[in-house]
Structure 1
Amino acid sequence: MKNYTNELEKLFTLIESYSKTSIKLYKYTTVYKSANILSSLSVKFVLALLFLFFFFFLNIGIAIYLGEYLHKIYYGFFIVAGFYILIALLFLVFKDALIKTPVCNFIISATLNTDHNDSHEIE
């Protein structure tokens, strides 16, 4: 009878150890995936910001050029502003297809990514 008790104690110890290890693994996997998502979004944010600066100055140049062509500088700015209000209205109408769905898909695919070729993945 003592042999069974000893074996049961070993089994419970192994189960407890396995449970703790599994919880740590899930925790580390969650932290890794969260960090991966945040770092990807950070890179996209910086690139978008640089792209925004580029377009800002490009649009000022276009507005001045159009203004000089029309002999009133502010006409060029009104034309560029009108162009952007049209684009804003299009984004408002198609926001789910253009922004919400791709961002959701990115987050879901990054969360559920099981690529084993990634050298940083926890094994």
Structure 2
Amino acid sequence: MTDDTTPIATLFDRAKDYSKTTLKLFKLNAVDKTAEIVSSLFSLLVVVLTVVLSVVIISIGLALYIGKLLGDSFYGFFVIGAFYLLLAIILRVFREQWLKYPVSNSIIKQMMKPKKI
């Protein structure tokens, strides 16, 4: 039996196999990075939700305590509400440098981090 394939046909077959393998590798790397980023964001979300719940409970206790010192409980809630309003204004003003850029840089670093084998 003789091999009827020409060197050009063999070269095209190998190039086709190489391109398929490269595409599969690209897809697997994309899936790996996506899974890594999603899992990191999920763990961060769990921590943030725990902190938020703690802050809410502490805020209620502090508002009741301040209200007791000021003579009526709703005064404490006004004070705590004003504090959070001031905090929201400050965060709004500095959102680019305190929130947007660090989060963007973190995601980019996560995507560009070399894969550990």
- TM-score with structure 1 setting the length: 0.87
Deviations 1:41-78 (A, max 9, x none): 11111110010000000000000011111111111111
**RMSD of equivalent CA atoms:** 1.4
CA distance in 2, matches of 1:76, 1:103: 34
CA distance in 1, matches of 2:108, 2:11: 38
Q: Which amino acid aligns with 2:86?
A: L
- Aligned-pair CA distance for 1:6: 2.0
Q: Percent identity?
A: 36
Match of 1:69 in 2: 69
Match of 2:27 in 1: 27
Alignment length (residue pairs)? 114
Deviations 1:67-109 (A, max 9, x none): 1111111111111011000000000000001111011111111
CA distance in 2, matches of 1:29, 1:112: 11
CA distance in 2, matches of 1:107, 1:84: 28
Gaps of 5+ in 2: none
Equivalence map 1:50-89=2 (5 Å): 50-89=50-89
CA distance in 2, matches of 1:33, 1:104: 15
Aligned pair 1:47/2:55, yes or no? no
After TM superposition, the runs of 4+ consecutive aligned structure 1 residues lying more than 6 A away are none
Aligned pair 1:18/2:18, yes or no? yes
